[in-house]
Amino acid sequence: MVASCVAFLLLSLFLPLLLLGWWKRWHRGLAARHVVVVVLGDVGRSPRMQYHALSLVKSGFSVTLLGFCNSKPHSELLESDKIQVVKLTELQGLAVGPRVLRYGVKVVFQAVYLLWKLMWREPAAYIFLQNPPGLPSISVCWLVGCLCGSKLVIDWHNYGYSIMALVHGATHPIVLLAKWYEKFFGRLSHLNLCVTNAMREDLAENWCIRAVTVYDKPASFFKETPLDLQHELFMKLGRTHSLFMGCSEPSDPATERSAFTEKDAQTRLVTHLCGRPALLVSSTSWTEDEDFSILLAALEKFEQWASDGDSLPSLVCVITGKGPLKEHYIRLISQKHFQRIQVCTPWLEAEDYPLLLGSADLGVCLHKSSSGLDLPMKVVDMFGCCLPVCAVNFK
């Protein structure tokens, strides 16, 4: 009796999927110029996948982009009539019970939810998937590809299990299971992309996966910011963050002054403010693979040198991004008593971020690759803005 009930339940679940998959294969001609891009994360914080979507459109494809929309993607992506953004709802795990059980339940629900979302999209020739996170998205996208005749393309940014190992340790059963899962299902893809030659070689030697290195390149809007746009940005940010506003009032009330620039009331000419502070910018996802205590220690040394009479400018340090450790580091920053340094941690609109990079004097990247194989996109964006970067060294 129990076996019959289980068989009936499985048939009820998979028969509609098989029928839907058969219908999609029948209409495969519609899929020839359509691609689904899957990000089981925040689309606004996944620039490489946004660029993939835009590049596919320029190559004549229509694109459906699935992902969480916690932050706004770039306007060029939203304004394209060839890109449909499908918002995924971020599923929360159980509030009670053992951590392993809570995590398992969340993964199962995510798998069913993503499967449902993908199966009800129009037929696609390719499914582009960002990894990590790959649990459960790799297996779900592979299954959808089998049912619907779509080819799975995985873009390897890093290894998901190596990020989990930062929290649980490399020998934790969950980490070992995640590594096996990533390795097994990763081999089932039709095409693999990766961000560095080091990752390509590791995939080939240790995972038996052949990948093509596609280097990150900054988008066209990452460039040096003209002085007039710098001034507009500083005035805009000054409305919510006072450190961007000037400390002294101009002699002419009609003159606009920020902490860095001044716009003449008569000529409308923008100039750098005499004695302006230096602007340091860092972008982070506030996770375990970025140790911001390094930056805080460096700021303390800078403060000490400035207090000892060294000829150093005052410093404005802007750390932008969202993530789980943000509040922890904000508390640490608030405990510092800097006199020559001001720190703020805003979340910028997608259009303002490249303008800020193009206005800064120095970029900082503290990304310590959990696998030692990936290259942070933020450094590439900073280079696009001709911004010198101090970064943590890794393989």
pLDDT at 368: 80
Q: Is 15 helix (H, G, I), strand (E, B) or coil?
A: helix
pLDDT tens, residue by residue, 299-334: 999 999 988 877 889 999 999 988 888 898 899 988
Residue 9 has pLDDT above 80, yes or no: no
Residue 24 has pLDDT above 60, yes or no: no
pLDDT tens, residue by residue, 200-235: 999 999 999 999 999 888 888 899 999 999 999 999
Q: Using alpha carbons, list the distances in angstroms from residue 33 to 27, 123, 376.
A: 13, 10, 31
pLDDT at 7: 47
Helices (H), 120-248: 137-148, 160-168, 173-186, 197-207, 227-238
Residue 390 near residue 298 (C-beta atoms within 8 A): no
pLDDT tens, residue by residue, 71-95: 888 888 888 999 999 999 887 666 6
Task: Tell me how far apart the alpha carbons of residues 195 and 214 are, in angstroms, rounded to a whole number.
Answer: 6
Task: Tell me how far apart the alpha carbons of residues 236 and 227 are, in angstroms, rounded to a whole number.
Answer: 14
Residue 207 is encoded by which pair of tokens? 């995972």
Percent of all residues in the chain with a pLDDT value above 90, rounded to a whole number:
50
Task: Tell me how far apart the alpha carbons of residues 299 and 280 are, in angstroms, rounded to a whole number.
Answer: 11
pLDDT at 18: 52
Task: Tell me how far apart the alpha carbons of residues 261 and 227 are, in angstroms, rounded to a whole number.
Answer: 8
- Compare 97 and 22 and report the one with higher pLDDT: 97
Residue 327 near residue 303 (C-beta atoms within 8 A): no
pLDDT at 210: 96
* Residues 6 or more apart whose Cβ sits within 8 Å of residue 359: 225, 230, 233, 234, 260, 279
- In DSSP terms, 367 is beta-bridged to 290
Residue 260 near residue 230 (C-beta atoms within 8 A): yes
Domains of the chain: 13-213 (3.40.50.2000), 227-391 (3.40.50.2000)
pLDDT at 14: 52
Helices (H), 35-81: 47-58, 75-79
Orientation angle between helical segments 99-119 and 137-148, nearest 10 degrees: 30
pLDDT tens, residue by residue, 249-277: 766 666 788 999 999 878 889 999 888 99
**Torsion sign across C-alpha atoms 34, 190, 161, 366:** negative
Task: Tell me how far apart the alpha carbons of residues 183 and 189 are, in angstroms, rounded to a whole number.
Answer: 11
Residue 17 has pLDDT above 60, yes or no: no
Residue 58 is encoded by which pair of tokens? 């320029």
pLDDT at 6: 42
Residue 8 has pLDDT above 50, yes or no: no
